[in-house]
Each structure stands twice: as C-alpha cells, then as structure tokens.
Amino acid sequence: MEPFDYDALPGRVIFGVGRRSEVGEEVDRLHATRVLLIADAHDQETIDQVVTVLGERCVGIFTEVAQHVPMMLAQKVRALATSSDADATVTLGGGSATGFGKAVALTHELPQVCIPTTYAGSELTPIWGTSSGEVKETGRDLRVLPRSVIYDPELTLGLPISIAGPSAMNALAHAVEGLYGPGANPVMSAIALESVRVLATHLPLMKVSPTSIEERSQVLYGAYLAGAVLAVVGTALHHKTCHVLGGLYGLDHGQMNAVVLPHALAFNESAIPEAYQRLSSVLGGDAAGELYDLARTLDTPSSLLELGMPLEGVQRAAPLVVAASASNVRSINEAQAIEFLSSCVEGARPS
Ligand code: NAD
C-alpha cells in the first residue's frame, strides 16, 4: 500500500428530521450568548422558528445574502457583527449564507453554527470566498471552519428540483474530485465513493418523489459525505474552473458544476486510471458519461452556452484556468484548456 497523509478536521454534526429545534443547545455548547443570525431570506417561517428558539440570545439578523459573498455585503455583515457585539453566528441557508458566516469568522473569529438548506457542503470546510467585481478570492483558514452543523432534511423538502439538481451536482463534484484532489487519501476515497453511490442512487428517486423525506434525507446525507471529503482533500481542475468562470461571468455555481464536472473528469481520466475505474463501477458505466446522463436526469443545463457564457469567452478564461489549476492531477496547458472549456461551452456528452 502507498504511504499517505490524512489531516482530520474537527467539527460536530447532528443529523435528523426536525433537529433545527436543537440550535439553542448547539449555541450553548459554544458558551455563546449573543448570536448574529445570518439567513437566506427564502424561508421566513424557519427564520422565525430559529429566532424563537434562540430567544434573547439573538442580537441581530442579516438577510442580505447573495452568491459569491460580494465584498460590499461582507463588510456590511461584519459591521453588524461589531455593532451588535455578537459572540457567535448561526447561518441558515445554502452555501451563500454559510459563506457570509465565514466572512465574519475570518475577521471577527466568531464561532459558527450552520443549518444548511442545500447540498453545497461549505458548512464542513475551512474554505472561505469573497468576490469583488469579476474576481473571486478564496482561501483556507481554520478560523472559518464551522463548529457545529445541523442537517435537518425537512428544510430541503421545499428545495425545487431546479435548485436541488445543480446543488447536488456540486456535491457530486466534491466527492469525485475527492478521489484525486491534492489531499486525496484512502480514507477519504472510501467516503467519496460512498457519497457518489448514495447520490447517484437517490437523486433520480428524489426527482420522482420530491416530497419523500427518506429520499431527501439520503441526498442530504450523500452531500454531507461529499462536503467532508472536499474539506480534507481540496479541489482540482473542475472547481478551479468553476471559480474562474464564476468570477468572470457570474454564472450560477450549481448549474456550472453540473455542466463542467463530466468534462473535467474526462480530461483527468488518463492521470487517474484506478480512481476512474472505481467511479465507473459505482456509477455503472463510463464515469464521465454517466455523470453527464445523471445531470440530464436532473434537468440541469448541458452547456455553459445555456448559462450565458459565449464561445469567445473561452480564450479569455483559458489562461486563468491554467494558472488556477497548477495543482491538478494532470497538468493542463492553454491549448488543452481551450479544448476543455470549448467542450463545456458546447455541452456534448463526453466520449
Ligand atoms: P445558494 O446558497 O446561493 O442558494 C441558491 C438559491 O436557493 C438561493 O436563491 C436560495 O434562496 C435558495 N434556497 C436555498 N435553500 C433553499 C431551500 N431549502 N428551499 C428553497 N430555496 C432555497 O446556493 P448554494 O449552491 O447552496 O451555494 C453556492 C455558494 O456556496 C457559492 O458562492 C459557492 O462558491 C459557495 N460554496 C462554498 C464552498 C466552500 O467550501 N467554501 C463549498 C461549496 C459552495
């Protein structure tokens, strides 16, 4: 067996239907008494529930959550953390809400309790991100690793398939890149493959039965495993590309994931024969093609063109993708990046 390194990360997870009601206990475990609630405004009823459970501990509410944490809004939430003298944050929402909690943790060192409502996985990672204009800045810092995560599948019941599908493809991308990303190790590979198995099995079932709490729970569980893998292993060509394109064109993160993943995996295939074979056997066929087909089952867009990126954008993005992907398992030059990005823009099934 090959030697390996594994840097385990701390963190507490509670999982189960209805467990958002335990947010008060999670805050108390942190010995926090002044909570800033950062919530995606899509679900006022749950915001009200959390505010009620927190009671006097809730000293502020921020709901101006936007994708990619625009710096102007990050400054606003940080100012609120200061003015409300908060000693912890609770975030309620998808990866965007979590991202705002991390923005506060980075400057104010406030511990964070996360209640995720999508499959983004950010709640398990020490990775933060902000955006200014076309540039997205990301970094890794243990201070932003949330201290406690409450997975309550009930909160995902209302997630329409148009959001659930892309978000779940984002989770799948974490698990897939977890097999060959910079921190890959056999422990994380085992979890990554289980995540791929759970997601590939239950996503089509969830599509057919979107109100099934069992299917919603399975998909959330698969996404949790994927987030845990992302946190330890880090990312490769696929995510680097999505970050570049998110910054350049403001494309929707989840939908971009659904488009780019099969092409990024196909590009890496020759460098990862064993991982590719293991993925293919879990997915029941050629891995890149199966992921492409799964994305079609979830009705996600098949091309970046559909998301609004023009073919001319490829020339602009290629050098940035090359620069961002220096640690990818297979090195990529500008001509290869142009070919890879063109496949993503055109959106044909990878052969
Ligand atoms: P999101 O948080 O932006 O949410 C997408 C949309 O879904 C929003 O309109 C939101 O209001 C709505 N929504 C959320 N939960 C819902 C629910 N249960 N029911 C109905 N609607 C709901 O999207 P996301 O994909 O969760 O997160 C994307 C962001 O997370 C990006 O900025 C990405 O870069 C970041 N991210 C960061 C990491 C990390 O480790 N730092 C990991 C993954 C993603």
Dump pLDDT digits (tens) for 11-32. Answer: 999 999 999 999 999 999 999 9
Which atom in ligand 1 lies closest to the alpha carbon of residue 41? 11
Cβ burial, residue 119 (10 Å; 0-12/13-18/19+): buried
Mutate to test the pocket of ligand 1, among 225, 233, 253, 261 (most ligand atoms within 8 A of CB): 253
Domain containing 212 equals 161-346
Q: Give me 10's structure tokens.
A: 């701390």
φ/ψ of 5, rounded to 5, equals -110, 145
Same domain, 291 and 176: yes
Does the pLDDT value for residue 321 go beyond 80? yes
Cα separation, 89 vs 263, whole angstroms: 38
Residues 224 and 310 reside in one and the same domain: yes
Q: Are residues 191 and 267 in the same domain?
A: yes
CB of 94 shorter than 6 A to ligand 1 = yes
| Mean pLDDT of all residues in 76-103 | 98
Pair (87, 196) in one structural domain:
no
Q: What's the number of domains the chain is made of?
A: 2
Mean pLDDT, range 93-98, rounded to an integer: 96
CA distance 338 to 229: 29
* Residues 240, 320: Cα–Cα separation, whole Å: 9
Q: Which residues contact 89 (CB under 8 A, 6 or more apart)?
A: 35, 36, 37, 38, 81, 101, 104, 105, 110, 111, 112, 113
Q: What is the tens place of the pLDDT at every residue in 243-291?
A: 899 888 888 888 999 999 999 999 999 999 999 999 999 999 999 999 9
Position of tokens 């529930």?
49
Strand, helix or coil at 61? strand
Instruction: Say if residue 104 is in the same domain as residue 251.
Output: no
Q: Can you give the pLDDT at residue 28?
A: 98
Q: What is the per-residue pLDDT for 204?
A: 97
Within a domain: 6: no
pLDDT exceeds cutoff 90 at 186: yes
Structure confidence at residue 136 as a pLDDT band (50, 70, 90):
confident
186 and 119 in one domain? Answer: no
Closest ligand 1 atom number to CA of residue 167: 25
Is the model's pLDDT at 307 over the cut of 90?
Answer: yes
Q: Are residues 106 and 223 in the same domain?
A: no
Residue 134 has pLDDT above 80, yes or no: no
Q: Give the DSSP letter of residue 182.
A: T
Looking at the chain, the whole-number percentage of residues with pLDDT higher than 70 is: 100
Q: Average of pLDDT values for 127-148?
A: 91
pLDDT of 34 above 80? yes
Residues 265 and 231 in one domain: yes
Single pTM value for the model: 0.96
Q: Which atom of ligand 1 is found nearest the CA of 66?
A: 3
Q: Which tokens go with 102?
A: 């991390």
Contact 225, 212 (CB under 8 A): no
Q: Are residues 247 and 313 in the same domain?
A: yes
- Tell me, using a 6 A CB cutoff, whether residue 120 lines ligand 1: yes
What CATH number does the domain containing 287 carry?
1.20.1090.10
Same domain, 137 and 272: no
Q: Is the pLDDT of residue 35 over 90?
A: yes
8 Å CB contact between 36 and 65 = no
